[in-house]
Amino acid sequence: MDLWPSTFILALCILFRSASSQKNLRVAGVPGGATYGIALRGGYGADDSAAAVSFGGADAGATAVASDARGAVMSVKRQGEALISFSGLDTVLPATSIEGDFSLPSTLSQISAGGVRQWSLWSLDTFDGDVATSPPWTPNDRGFCGNPMDQFLGGHCRFGATQAMRKYTALPPHTRVRVRARIHYIDKWEGDSVSLLVHGNPVWSQSHDWCPCFLKWMCEKYGLDTCGRNTPDRLSVKAEAIIAHSSDFLDLSFNSSLPFETDPCYTSWGVDDVSVELM
Protein backbone atom coordinates (compact mmCIF):
# COMPACT_ATOMS: atom_id res chain seq x y z
CA MET A 1 0.00 0.00 0.00
CA ASP A 2 1.30 3.39 -0.91
CA LEU A 3 1.57 5.52 2.23
CA TRP A 4 2.32 8.89 0.53
CA PRO A 5 -1.28 10.11 -0.14
CA SER A 6 -2.41 9.30 3.40
CA THR A 7 0.71 10.91 4.89
CA PHE A 8 0.15 14.05 2.81
CA ILE A 9 -3.52 14.28 3.85
CA LEU A 10 -2.54 13.76 7.50
CA ALA A 11 0.02 16.60 7.27
CA LEU A 12 -2.60 18.92 5.76
CA CYS A 13 -5.07 18.05 8.52
CA ILE A 14 -2.46 18.88 11.19
CA LEU A 15 -1.61 22.12 9.42
CA PHE A 16 -5.18 23.42 9.16
CA ARG A 17 -6.23 22.27 12.63
CA SER A 18 -3.24 24.03 14.19
CA ALA A 19 -3.68 27.18 12.12
CA SER A 20 -7.28 27.52 13.25
CA SER A 21 -6.19 27.55 16.90
CA GLN A 22 -3.23 29.92 16.20
CA LYS A 23 -0.71 27.62 17.81
CA ASN A 24 1.60 24.70 17.18
CA LEU A 25 1.40 24.99 13.41
CA ARG A 26 4.09 22.69 12.10
CA VAL A 27 5.14 21.78 8.57
CA ALA A 28 7.41 18.77 8.57
CA GLY A 29 9.64 18.36 5.55
CA VAL A 30 10.25 14.65 5.99
CA PRO A 31 7.56 12.13 6.79
CA GLY A 32 8.10 10.03 9.84
CA GLY A 33 8.15 12.59 12.64
CA ALA A 34 11.51 14.38 12.23
CA THR A 35 11.00 18.14 12.25
CA TYR A 36 12.93 19.73 9.41
CA GLY A 37 11.99 22.75 7.34
CA ILE A 38 9.89 25.53 8.86
CA ALA A 39 7.95 25.48 12.12
CA LEU A 40 5.49 28.08 13.40
CA ARG A 41 4.61 28.17 17.06
CA GLY A 42 3.04 30.31 19.75
CA GLY A 43 0.67 33.17 19.26
CA TYR A 44 -2.59 34.18 20.88
CA GLY A 45 -4.77 32.69 23.56
CA ALA A 46 -3.73 29.98 25.97
CA ASP A 47 -0.37 29.19 24.39
CA ASP A 48 2.18 30.95 26.61
CA SER A 49 5.13 30.49 24.27
CA ALA A 50 6.31 33.40 22.18
CA ALA A 51 5.28 33.58 18.55
CA ALA A 52 8.15 32.27 16.43
CA VAL A 53 9.14 31.05 13.01
CA SER A 54 11.88 28.43 13.24
CA PHE A 55 14.06 27.48 10.30
CA GLY A 56 15.45 23.99 10.55
CA GLY A 57 12.61 22.80 12.76
CA ALA A 58 11.67 23.63 16.32
CA ASP A 59 14.58 21.91 18.03
CA ALA A 60 17.23 23.74 20.03
CA GLY A 61 19.62 24.02 17.10
CA ALA A 62 17.19 25.91 14.87
CA THR A 63 17.41 29.49 13.78
CA ALA A 64 14.26 31.28 14.91
CA VAL A 65 12.66 34.67 14.43
CA ALA A 66 10.62 35.27 17.55
CA SER A 67 8.59 37.91 19.30
CA ASP A 68 8.00 37.92 23.04
CA ALA A 69 4.55 37.41 24.52
CA ARG A 70 3.82 41.15 24.57
CA GLY A 71 5.23 41.74 21.10
CA ALA A 72 7.70 44.25 22.58
CA VAL A 73 10.89 42.53 21.45
CA MET A 74 11.63 40.80 18.19
CA SER A 75 14.74 38.66 18.04
CA VAL A 76 16.66 36.32 15.78
CA LYS A 77 17.92 33.35 17.78
CA ARG A 78 20.36 30.60 16.98
CA GLN A 79 20.53 27.57 19.27
CA GLY A 80 18.43 29.48 21.76
CA GLU A 81 20.82 32.48 21.95
CA ALA A 82 19.58 35.84 20.68
CA LEU A 83 21.89 37.06 17.89
CA ILE A 84 19.92 40.16 17.03
CA SER A 85 17.08 41.82 18.89
CA PHE A 86 14.99 44.92 18.39
CA SER A 87 12.73 46.77 20.74
CA GLY A 88 11.60 50.32 21.29
CA LEU A 89 14.20 50.71 24.04
CA ASP A 90 17.16 48.64 22.89
CA THR A 91 18.73 47.18 19.76
CA VAL A 92 21.39 44.46 19.95
CA LEU A 93 23.53 43.58 16.96
CA PRO A 94 26.48 41.19 16.61
CA ALA A 95 29.79 42.40 15.10
CA THR A 96 28.62 44.92 12.54
CA SER A 97 30.55 46.58 9.73
CA ILE A 98 29.27 49.79 8.18
CA GLU A 99 30.50 50.80 4.77
CA GLY A 100 28.35 53.90 4.25
CA ASP A 101 27.45 56.85 6.46
CA PHE A 102 26.29 56.10 9.98
CA SER A 103 24.27 58.60 11.93
CA LEU A 104 22.33 58.62 15.17
CA PRO A 105 19.55 60.93 16.29
CA SER A 106 20.94 63.64 18.53
CA THR A 107 18.46 62.71 21.25
CA LEU A 108 20.16 59.36 21.71
CA SER A 109 22.51 59.50 24.67
CA GLN A 110 23.16 55.87 25.50
CA ILE A 111 25.07 53.58 23.15
CA SER A 112 26.92 50.45 24.20
CA ALA A 113 29.33 48.19 22.36
CA GLY A 114 30.18 44.77 23.72
CA GLY A 115 28.26 45.72 26.86
CA VAL A 116 30.44 48.82 27.40
CA ARG A 117 28.67 52.15 27.21
CA GLN A 118 30.00 54.55 24.59
CA TRP A 119 30.17 58.31 24.27
CA SER A 120 27.46 59.86 22.14
CA LEU A 121 28.23 63.05 20.25
CA TRP A 122 25.81 65.78 21.26
CA SER A 123 27.39 68.83 19.61
CA LEU A 124 30.32 69.65 17.32
CA ASP A 125 31.33 73.22 16.45
CA THR A 126 33.77 73.49 13.54
CA PHE A 127 33.15 77.24 13.03
CA ASP A 128 33.38 76.70 9.27
CA GLY A 129 29.85 77.73 8.30
CA ASP A 130 28.05 81.03 8.05
CA VAL A 131 28.46 83.08 11.24
CA ALA A 132 24.81 84.16 11.07
CA THR A 133 23.61 80.56 11.42
CA SER A 134 26.49 79.32 13.55
CA PRO A 135 26.43 78.08 17.16
CA PRO A 136 25.83 80.87 19.67
CA TRP A 137 29.30 81.58 21.03
CA THR A 138 29.93 84.92 22.71
CA PRO A 139 31.94 86.59 21.28
CA ASN A 140 31.57 84.85 17.93
CA ASP A 141 34.61 86.25 16.08
CA ARG A 142 36.21 84.00 13.49
CA GLY A 143 39.77 83.67 12.25
CA PHE A 144 41.79 81.28 10.13
CA CYS A 145 45.39 80.25 9.47
CA GLY A 146 46.34 79.67 5.86
CA ASN A 147 43.14 77.99 4.71
CA PRO A 148 40.18 80.42 4.79
CA MET A 149 37.77 77.47 4.54
CA ASP A 150 38.90 76.15 7.93
CA GLN A 151 37.85 78.85 10.34
CA PHE A 152 37.96 78.81 14.12
CA LEU A 153 36.73 80.84 17.05
CA GLY A 154 39.05 83.78 17.81
CA GLY A 155 42.40 84.21 16.10
CA HIS A 156 44.93 86.88 15.19
CA CYS A 157 43.89 90.40 16.30
CA ARG A 158 40.72 88.86 17.83
CA PHE A 159 41.26 86.87 21.06
CA GLY A 160 43.77 88.02 23.70
CA ALA A 161 42.56 88.48 27.28
CA THR A 162 39.22 87.13 26.11
CA GLN A 163 36.63 84.73 27.49
CA ALA A 164 34.44 82.96 24.94
CA MET A 165 31.39 81.06 26.11
CA ARG A 166 28.45 79.00 24.96
CA LYS A 167 25.44 77.63 26.83
CA TYR A 168 24.16 74.22 25.73
CA THR A 169 20.56 73.49 26.68
CA ALA A 170 18.01 70.65 26.55
CA LEU A 171 20.62 67.92 27.06
CA PRO A 172 19.11 64.42 27.30
CA PRO A 173 19.60 62.33 30.47
CA HIS A 174 23.28 61.54 31.07
CA THR A 175 25.80 61.11 33.88
CA ARG A 176 29.06 62.24 32.29
CA VAL A 177 30.25 64.82 29.77
CA ARG A 178 33.38 64.76 27.63
CA VAL A 179 34.52 68.04 26.07
CA ARG A 180 37.20 68.13 23.39
CA ALA A 181 38.67 70.98 21.39
CA ARG A 182 41.80 72.10 19.51
CA ILE A 183 43.58 75.18 20.81
CA HIS A 184 45.74 77.47 18.66
CA TYR A 185 48.43 79.57 20.34
CA ILE A 186 49.33 82.33 17.90
CA ASP A 187 52.54 84.40 18.02
CA LYS A 188 54.34 85.66 21.12
CA TRP A 189 53.18 83.58 24.07
CA GLU A 190 55.49 83.76 27.09
CA GLY A 191 54.17 81.23 29.60
CA ASP A 192 50.52 82.22 29.80
CA SER A 193 47.81 79.62 29.37
CA VAL A 194 44.47 78.89 27.76
CA SER A 195 41.86 77.15 29.91
CA LEU A 196 38.66 75.24 29.34
CA LEU A 197 35.95 75.84 31.94
CA VAL A 198 32.73 73.96 32.66
CA HIS A 199 30.16 75.92 34.68
CA GLY A 200 32.95 78.39 35.48
CA ASN A 201 35.36 75.77 36.85
CA PRO A 202 38.65 75.14 35.03
CA VAL A 203 38.80 71.51 33.86
CA TRP A 204 41.76 71.80 31.46
CA SER A 205 44.59 74.30 31.08
CA GLN A 206 47.88 74.45 29.21
CA SER A 207 50.54 77.14 29.00
CA HIS A 208 52.75 77.96 26.06
CA ASP A 209 56.06 79.73 25.52
CA TRP A 210 56.82 80.66 21.94
CA CYS A 211 60.57 80.05 22.56
CA PRO A 212 61.54 78.25 25.78
CA CYS A 213 65.21 78.04 24.73
CA PHE A 214 67.86 80.73 25.20
CA LEU A 215 68.68 81.12 21.52
CA LYS A 216 65.68 83.07 20.26
CA TRP A 217 67.08 83.24 16.74
CA MET A 218 66.82 79.46 16.50
CA CYS A 219 63.09 79.60 17.32
CA GLU A 220 62.56 82.29 14.73
CA LYS A 221 64.52 80.38 12.11
CA TYR A 222 63.22 76.87 12.74
CA GLY A 223 59.83 77.49 14.38
CA LEU A 224 56.65 77.00 12.38
CA ASP A 225 54.85 80.22 11.52
CA THR A 226 51.44 79.91 9.85
CA CYS A 227 49.32 82.55 11.59
CA GLY A 228 49.32 86.25 12.37
CA ARG A 229 52.79 87.80 12.68
CA ASN A 230 56.02 86.04 11.73
CA THR A 231 56.54 84.68 15.26
CA PRO A 232 56.21 80.86 15.34
CA ASP A 233 52.83 79.48 16.40
CA ARG A 234 51.64 76.32 18.14
CA LEU A 235 48.48 74.97 16.58
CA SER A 236 45.93 72.24 17.33
CA VAL A 237 46.84 71.51 20.93
CA LYS A 238 44.35 68.91 22.10
CA ALA A 239 42.16 69.93 25.04
CA GLU A 240 40.03 67.28 26.70
CA ALA A 241 38.09 66.97 29.93
CA ILE A 242 35.69 64.38 31.31
CA ILE A 243 33.44 65.41 34.17
CA ALA A 244 30.54 63.97 36.14
CA HIS A 245 27.50 65.89 34.98
CA SER A 246 23.75 65.30 34.89
CA SER A 247 22.20 68.73 34.47
CA ASP A 248 20.19 69.39 31.29
CA PHE A 249 22.31 72.45 30.50
CA LEU A 250 26.05 73.01 30.16
CA ASP A 251 27.99 76.27 30.40
CA LEU A 252 31.22 75.98 28.45
CA SER A 253 33.89 78.65 28.17
CA PHE A 254 37.49 79.16 27.13
CA ASN A 255 39.70 81.94 28.47
CA SER A 256 43.35 82.90 28.70
CA SER A 257 45.61 84.15 31.48
CA LEU A 258 46.98 86.87 29.17
CA PRO A 259 47.04 90.29 30.91
CA PHE A 260 44.14 92.61 30.17
CA GLU A 261 46.35 95.00 28.22
CA THR A 262 47.55 92.28 25.81
CA ASP A 263 47.43 93.34 22.17
CA PRO A 264 45.79 90.42 20.32
CA CYS A 265 47.66 91.47 17.18
CA TYR A 266 50.88 90.36 18.96
CA THR A 267 49.65 87.46 21.10
CA SER A 268 46.39 85.69 20.36
CA TRP A 269 44.61 82.36 20.48
CA GLY A 270 41.75 80.46 18.96
CA VAL A 271 39.72 77.29 19.44
CA ASP A 272 38.34 74.87 16.86
CA ASP A 273 36.31 71.63 16.72
CA VAL A 274 34.63 71.94 20.08
CA SER A 275 32.76 68.70 20.75
CA VAL A 276 30.44 67.80 23.60
CA GLU A 277 29.79 64.09 24.13
CA LEU A 278 27.45 62.52 26.64
CA MET A 279 27.33 59.18 28.39
CB neighbour class for 250 (10 Å; exposed up to 12, middle 13-18, buried from 19): buried
Shortest Å distance, C-beta 120 to Ca ion: 22
CB neighbour class for 186 (10 Å; exposed up to 12, middle 13-18, buried from 19): buried
Cβ distance to Ca ion smaller for residue 152 or 269: 152
Shortest Å distance, C-beta 161 to Ca ion: 19
Alpha-carbon separation of residue 252 from 69, 108, 169 (angstroms): 47, 21, 11
Shortest Å distance, C-beta 187 to Ca ion: 5
Shortest Å distance, C-beta 169 to Ca ion: 23
Cβ distance to Ca ion smaller for residue 150 or 248: 150
Identify any residues that bridge with 207 across adjacent strands, giving them in sequence order.
Answer: 193
Coil, helix or strand at residue 68: coil
Binding footprint of Ca ion on the chain (CB under 5 A): 126-128, 150, 152, 187, 225, 227-228, 231, 233, 272
Separation of alpha carbons 54 and 227, rounded Å: 66
Q: Are 51 and 35 in contact (CB under 8 A)?
A: no
Cβ distance to Ca ion smaller for residue 155 or 228: 228
Shortest Å distance, C-beta 182 to Ca ion: 8
Backbone angles phi, psi at 150, to 5 degrees: -105, 90
Cβ distance to Ca ion smaller for residue 86 or 266: 266
Cβ distance to Ca ion smaller for residue 109 or 127: 127
